[in-house]
A = this chain, B = another copy of it.
Amino acid sequence: MELVPNNSLKCTTPEDGRRLAISLALQTSFAMQPDEHVQEIIRTTYANNPEDLLAASQVVATEFATIAAANDYWR
């Protein structure tokens, strides 16, 4: 399983960086739970539970901080 798409933190734009942050965040769950059926259940649970969405958003925010620094904040 690939944990970092294209094995790179380089992103052309903040929008790309944001999509990478979401990928990284979700990929960690899938690395720890490789069963695709259980993954599907988990993804549905996340998407319909406000507290889970907030917790996932926190992970994304943390990943994005790293990606933004890696790209020198697209200055």
Give the number of copies in the complex: 6
A61 CB → nearest B CB, Å:
4
Is B15 within 8 A of A3, CB to CB? yes
Distance of A24 Cα from B58 Cα, bound (Å): 11
CB-contacts of A16-75 with B (<8 A): 17-19, 22, 24-25, 28-29, 31-33, 38, 42, 45-66, 68-70, 73-75
Number of A residues, CB within 8 Å of B: 50
Given known pairs A42-B50, A50-B52, A56-B54, the reply for A61 and B15 (CB within 8 Å) is no
List of B residues within 8 angstroms of A18 by Cβ: 3-4, 24
List of B residues within 8 angstroms of A73 by Cβ: 9, 66, 69-70
Is B51 within 8 A of A29, CB to CB? no
